[in-house]
Chain A
């Protein structure tokens, strides 16, 4: 029972990680860019949300309504101001640019919000739980998981069915061929980054409701998102979702074995996948 409980909690934790991983899978799948400031953007959005909540008395839903459009704009600006200039065959410029951005953002947040951990007051929702067959399941983690599934489903559908999704996949496969058929790759890239960062708007609200955030936490979020994408297999939205589940379950079981072993267990499973199946669980090839 104890291990089944760990499994359930792991799946719920995976729901949180999936919300970081989806954006990263989208950006890497389309532009071959790894945005090193990915985690810092989650933290930035979380801290803005917390400040909104404390100064205007917004509830979590209102914060989300305000934060997601803000995240979309932030993503679009990121693409226009920085990423469009560094996207290309050489991965170094984009890596260095987003690395510099991460360094600047982290220390800027430290100046504005100090190093303290904060969280978003959820009006009691964060402590509600339901009991099913001897296992207590938090209501909030279930909502997080439901949102993660919904976002994955919507993103997958958008990539496969919509006109924009086709343009996105065409640009990912061959930028030059895509632009010959009338697709503007820069506009496609800007939209992809806007969506990727927009998803982080949801992640930011849930992260700050579920636990605490501090300016220095971005690195850990980046690593979890990255591990989920690699475990699942690059270039697949559902792969990133399943990768998040594997990571969440590994960490939850690790925590049960020894509290100091939880995060490490996640890293070890990641390295194991890398050693035995480098293309990821659902990757092609």
Chain B
């Protein structure tokens, strides 16, 4: 019992908090290079490649938003497509109907999911666990049915973004590339920054045990609400960018539950509650989609079975298995307490 001295302040053990690791520094450098490469795409990639990368970036963004919701805030949503479609439609209405510059319209369209998320959350947070999930799906269905009935968004037929004709192909490529870079910087970089902040500490405490976190002074309700609104905006950004590149939007594509399917697959198989898992899961999904997509939807059966197997046998996904073997996080968010060794004789 003598090994831990309860000492006065002067004799407090000298410690430092280590928050970054070698693997983390390498990954951060690669991340910065990747962002730069995304922004400079028009000078090294063809239009087809840029479109493909844009789609990939949207998958990453949506999956990471789902990861923040389900992995940290304990809010399992299967209706994030509600906010993607809402922002997408807002962007089309602003640019096409009101003639706002399309790139400014993307930024402005993010107000819509932020505003819509507030009443949605106040309705849905009354439902717990699995019921919350299906409640979010109902909300997405409501959004879809409302847009199908609204004349000024051209109802079920949808809208086209013909104003994009005013820009040259190169200008559009620059816009798409910059949007990819901004989207990844905001969703992945933003999440990383958030998780390393004070809020991140609170969020991790909440993930492990919401009741215990609340007893330590974490405002669980407010934090959940913040994450829900932030995830709505993040998904909205992905929606706006995706449908701008598509040049068309209609209710069935805007509020497609497929987005929830792929977010859940990516996060669960890649590894929930880790940014690394999102990147791994997206890579698997993207490769599967490119290789097997040509043979019809049968590969979705395999993806579904993989999701079941992960839920049954490996809850932490691929990244969970990897990090159990090698402790080399790409986005370290843990705080290591290092005791200064000079006190030792």
Tell me, yes or no, whether A binds B: yes
Residues of A within 8 A of B (CB): 28, 32-34, 36, 82, 85-86, 91-97, 99-108, 110-111, 219, 222-223, 226-227, 230, 234, 258, 260-261, 263-264, 267-268, 270-271, 274-275, 278
Contact of A96 among B139, B141, B268 (CB under 8 A): B268
Q: Name the contact of B134 in the complex, choosing from A110, A222, A264 (C-beta under 8 A).
A: A222
Contacts A92-B70, A96-B264: A274 and B123 contacting too (C-beta < 8 A)?
yes
Cα A99 to Cα B257 in complex, Å, equals 12
- A156–B10 Cα gap in the complex (Å)? 70
CB<8 Å pairs between A and B, sample of 29: A28-B130, A28-B131, A32-B129, A36-B134, A82-B312, A91-B76, A91-B129, A96-B307, A99-B264, A99-B307, A100-B307, A101-B308, A102-B304, A104-B300, A104-B301, A104-B303, A104-B304, A111-B296, A258-B149, A260-B148, A263-B141, A263-B145, A264-B145, A270-B138, A271-B139, A274-B123, A274-B126, A274-B127, A274-B135
How far is A57 from B76 in the complex, measured between Cα atoms in Å?
45
Least CB separation from A100: chain B residue: B307
B contacts, CB < 8 Å to A: 70, 76, 78, 123-124, 126-131, 133-135, 137-139, 141-142, 145-146, 148-149, 257, 261, 264-265, 268, 296-298, 300-312, 315
B contact residues around A278 at 8 Å (CB): 126-127
CB pair A95 B130 closer than 8 Å:
yes
Interface of B is mostly: helix
Establish whether residues A261 and B149, one from each chain, have CB atoms under 8 Å apart when the complex forms: yes
In the complex, A32 Cα to B129 Cα: how many Å? Answer: 9
A219 touches B257 (CB 8 A): yes
| Complex contact A107–B298 (CB within 8 A) | yes
Residues on the A chain within 8 Å of B78, using CB: 36, 99
Complex contacts, B305 vs chain A, CB 8 Å = 100, 104
CB distance from A156 to the nearest CB of B (A): 22
Chain B residues whose C-beta falls within 8 Å of the C-beta of A111 in the assembled complex: 296-298, 301
User: What A residues does B130 contact at CB under 8 A?
Assistant: 28, 32-34, 91, 94-95
| Minimum CB–CB distance for A174 against chain B, Å | 18
List 9 extra interface pairs beyond A223-B138, A226-B138, CB under 8 A. Answer: A28-B131, A86-B312, A91-B129, A100-B307, A100-B310, A101-B304, A110-B297, A111-B301, A227-B138
Please tell me if the beta carbons of B127 and A107 are within 8 angstroms of each other in the complex. Answer: no
Q: In the complex, which residues of chain A have a beta carbon less than 8 angstroms from the beta carbon of B264? A: 96, 99
Least distance between A32 CB and chain B CB atoms (Å): 7
Task: Say whether B303 contacts A264, CB under 8 Å.
Answer: no
Closest to A89 in B: B129
Whether B142 pairs with A275 at a CB distance below 8 angstroms is no
CA distance in complex: A93, B300 (Å)? 20
A93 CB → nearest B CB, Å: 5
Q: Is the CB of A34 within 8 A of B142?
A: no
Shortest beta-carbon distance from A216 to chain B in Å: 10
Q: Which residues of B contact A86 (CB under 8 A)?
A: 311-312
